[in-house]
Amino acid sequence: MTKIKNIEIFELGEKITNTPWSSTILILRLTTEDGYVGYGEAPTTLMTLPVLEEMNEVARIFNGKDPTEIEKNVREFYKHSFYLPVSMESTAALSAFEIASLDITGKIYSIPIYKMLGGKVRDKIKAYANGWYSDCINPDDFLQKAKKMEKIGYKAIKFDPFGNQFDSLDHDHLKNAIEIVSTLKNETGLELLIEYHGRFNASSAIIAGKSLEKFDPLFMEEPVHPDSIESLMKFRKSVNTRIALGERVLNKNLFLPYLKNDLVDIIQPDVTNIGGIFETKKAAVLSDAFGVDVAIHNAFGPIQTAASLQLDVNINNFLIQESFENSWPEWKINLIKDGYEIEDGLYKISSKPGLGIEINEKILDEFKIQGMEFLDPNEPPWVVKGTFR
């Protein structure tokens, strides 16, 4: 039996911005007493410092523990963390430790994480591009950038066409959204995924959904405010489209109301905020029993991507994988040297042990940063930069 000896947390960034995929990330490095090293990642969307502090609390539970006793260690933190199932700070912090523990376990036994989950059911993982439409406002803006994604090989793209609308949707922005989606549908060969960002009340979401369903998107994501299941029920009854949600669902059990009430077609758990890889796998198995697919949410960094891909090759009900690869700053692209690649809109992963990645230690040293993300009073941190106007 080996034990966790050193726990290091790195806040990284080139500068403080308000876009999660280019701003701060939190990286965890666990080292055992016999020299095995594992990496994890936690999300930071306008909560960098709270998550970092909560990682220090998880460290008090995991320090000195056998990293291969993953379920036991997770359960121990669950016992101590009173608000764990509904506190994203807690689930995000725990996720980093769970992922890093699995990385170590794979290295100890010389197998990739997907082997611990039951092995591969696919070798190639279809991706969709996100983050590509910065500063896009009108249909031509979207079209020109969408064509660039198509040219480099993506077969699907996700985007938010609703500008600066929140809660309600006015006529002009609805008209612009229809024109954007129509243009992309008619002038590219891309599958379209429409992002609502959980921003609308029921009536506005329904108006938008009924106007856009004729373009046959692969799915519409978070059409209503995430805390309003009644609004989601109204949307479900009114709009003939596939619904995706789940990046803000923090526990496999919390997916049950959506699954039992037939409110979702594609769940989107996030390995860095649901509790890690095993909890995501359990959510996937649960959704499979309801005939619901999985498209893992993945908006932050390359360790998160590496962890998500270990699941993508394994789960039966995989649909498509989110990718911000082409929107990252150079430092984030260079954080890992090896482990996976994306070509022609398809991910492939290595068969190396654990997460299969090699971390560029130089980035850990050169891009340390402190503080919260920048808060732009005119643009929330959850939108693609330059589109909320």
Each residue's pLDDT tens digit, 173-222: 999 999 999 999 999 999 999 999 999 999 999 999 999 999 999 999 99
Give residues with Cβ within 8 angstroms of 252, minimum separation 6: 269, 274, 279, 282, 283, 286
- pLDDT tier, 17 (very low <50, low <70, confident <90, very high otherwise): low
Q: Output the pLDDT for position 46.
A: 82
Quick one: average pLDDT of 109-114? 98
User: DSSP readout, 116-142?
Assistant: HTT--S-S-EEEEE-STTTT--SHHHH
Nearest residue to 329 (alpha-carbon basis) of 11, 4, 25, 8: 25
Q: Output the pLDDT for position 20.
A: 58
Question: What is the percent of the chain with per-residue pLDDT over 70, rounded to a whole number?
Answer: 98
Q: Hey, which residues are catalytic here?
A: 197, 297
Quick one: average pLDDT of 380-389? 90
pLDDT in tens, 39-51: 999 988 888 999 9
Q: Where are the beta strands (DSSP E) in 269-376?
A: 293-294, 321-323, 336-338, 340-343, 346-349, 358-359
pLDDT in tens, 308-331: 999 999 999 999 999 999 999 899
Domain extents for the chain?
Answer: 4-112, 115-359
Q: Output the pLDDT for position 77.
A: 97
Q: Output the pLDDT for position 24.
A: 85
Nearest residue to 145 (alpha-carbon basis) of 135, 155, 153: 135
Query: Residue 18: pLDDT above 90?
Result: no
β-sheet bridge partners, residue 156: 191
Question: What is the percent of the chain with per-residue pLDDT over 90, rounded to a whole number?
Answer: 89
**pTM recorded for the entire structure:** 0.97
- pLDDT tier, 2 (very low <50, low <70, confident <90, very high otherwise): very high
Give residues with Cβ within 8 angstroms of 204, minimum separation 6: 165, 167, 168, 169
Quick one: average pLDDT of 76-105? 96
Query: Residue 19: pLDDT above 70?
Result: no
Q: Output the pLDDT for position 23.
A: 75
CA 381 to chain centre: 15
Quick one: average pLDDT of 349-354? 97
Are 310 and 120 contacting, i.e. CB atoms less than 8 angstroms apart?
Answer: no
How confident is the prediction for the chain on average, in pLDDT?
A: 95
Phi-psi region of 170 (alpha: psi -120 to 50; beta: other; left: phi over 0): beta
Distance CA 109, CA 354 (A): 9
Q: What architecture is the 115-359 domain classified under in CATH? A: Alpha-Beta Barrel (3.20)
Q: Which of 10-19, 118-127, 145-154, 267-276 has the lowest mean pLDDT?
A: 10-19
Query: Residue 36: pLDDT above 80?
Result: yes
Selecting from 3.40.50.800, 3.65.10.10, 2.40.40.20, 3.30.390.10, what CATH number does the domain 4-112 have? 3.30.390.10
Q: Output the pLDDT for position 16.
A: 60
What are the strands of the beta sheet with 25-32, ordered from one edge? 4-12, 25-32, 37-42
Nearest residue to 122 (alpha-carbon basis) of 384, 347, 302: 347
Q: Output the pLDDT for position 389.
A: 85
